[in-house]
């Protein structure tokens, strides 16, 4: 919490990124108060430009763009949260056990991990999405993205454990009779929390980017409102050609704000974790004292 307060107070990138994400989350919360069902069509006049009654106008399907956008943002964020949670959970367990146990188990896990790393994720996801198109709701999408996004993080966690298990406190815990699971998850995981947070941000960017890519290509369940499916329907009805620019502009602006928010947070946290920057902050603190 102290690190969070310091970042919020002194790092402009963190402050701007955090503000963007708070705004996006606020929009997603508004979906619970929507007067419209996102599945309903032709409930408002079509193709009305932004006005006091319809803040972001209406689309060719007779839907209010603003309220539909709140559902789209919420579902896209759910995909990102589920993908990151599942993928990083697997990565933490695999990376920590592989690094701590070592030996043949480590070599086996490393071989499997390296095999996943070299897989071309986008072509495989496109193929699977084409096969599962009608059944690919946002939960299934999150599972697929998590399945292809655990390998790289597990390698990073493994490298951290390789250094932590040589520390004196690890030997002390080992000689005191603690089990391997207790040593790993009670002694080592707290040291990894900042790295897990930084890595989770990049996981969000990957998940949201892949969801939008597959949805724009029409390879997901298009009845589920997400930022990607919203862009797909706007392009399908030629929003720019027929002058209903607000239909396609709204999800694109929401996407830019979301990605920029996560990017600024990622840059800020990565800089904060840089040992050279941390050393510089310590020297500055000693100078002030």
Residue-level pLDDT at 131: 81
Residue 96 buriedness (CB in 10 A; 0-12 / 13-18 / 19+): buried
Residue 261 located in a structural domain: no
**Residue 266, domain member (yes or no):** no
Instruction: State residue 94's pLDDT score.
Output: 87
Give just the sign of the alpha carbon dihedral 6, 10, 14, 15.
positive
Tell me the mean pLDDT per 10 residues along the chain, length 289: 63 82 93 90 90 90 93 92 90 84 84 86 85 76 87 85 76 72 74 78 87 86 88 90 90 91 81 58 51
Distances (CA, A) of 36 to 25, 39, 73, 74, 206: 19, 9, 16, 15, 30
Task: Report the candidate in 214, 90, 223 with the shortest Cα–Cα distance to residue 157.
Answer: 90
Neighbours of 282 (CB within 10 A): 10
Does residue 2 lie within any of the structural domains?
no
The per-residue pLDDT for 219 is 83
pLDDT of res. 59? 92
Residue 69's nearest CA partner among 52, 85, 50, 83 is: 50
Number of domains in the chain: 1
Residue 267 covered by a domain: no
SS3 44: coil
What global pTM score does this model have?
Answer: 0.83
Range of the structural domain that residue 135 is part of: 70-247
CATH (domain of 170):
1.10.3720.10
CB-CB contact of 49 with 108 (8 Å):
no
């Amino acid at each position: 919490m102290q690190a969070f307060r310091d970042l919020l107070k002194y790092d402009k990138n963190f402050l701007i990124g955090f503000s963007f994400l708070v705004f996006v989350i606020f929009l997603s919360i508004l979906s619970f108060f929507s007067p419209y069902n996102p599945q309903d069509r032709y409930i408002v006049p079509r193709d009305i430009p932004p006005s006091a009654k319809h803040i972001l106008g209406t689309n060719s399907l007779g839907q209010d763009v603003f309220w539909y956008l709140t559902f789209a943002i919420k579902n896209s964020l759910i995909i990102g949260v589920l993908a990151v949670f599942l993928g990083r959970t697997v990565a933490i367990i695999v990376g920590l056990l592989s690094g701590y146990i070592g030996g043949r188990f480590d070599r086996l896990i490393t071989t499997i991990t390296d095999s996943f790393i070299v897989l071309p994720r986008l072509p495989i996801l496109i193929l699977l999405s084409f096969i599962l198109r009608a059944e690919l709701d946002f939960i299934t999408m999150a599972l697929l993205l998590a399945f292809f996004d655990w390998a790289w993080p597990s390698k990073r966690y493994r490298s951290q454990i390789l250094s932590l298990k040589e520390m004196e406190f690890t030997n002390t815990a080992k000689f005191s009779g603690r089990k391997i699971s207790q040593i790993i998850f009670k002694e080592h995981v707290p040291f990894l929390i900042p790295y897990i947070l930084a890595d989770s941000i990049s996981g969000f960017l990957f998940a949201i980017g892949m969801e939008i890519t597959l949805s724009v290509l029409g390879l997901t369940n298009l009845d589920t409102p997400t930022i990607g499916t919203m862009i797909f329907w706007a392009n399908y009805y030629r929003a720019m050609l027929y002058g209903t620019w607000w239909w396609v502009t709204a999800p694109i602006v929401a996407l830019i704000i979301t990605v920029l928010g996560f990017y600024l947070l990622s840059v800020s946290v990565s800089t904060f974790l840089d040992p050279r920057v941390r050393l510089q902050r310590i020297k500055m603190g000693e100078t002030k004292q």
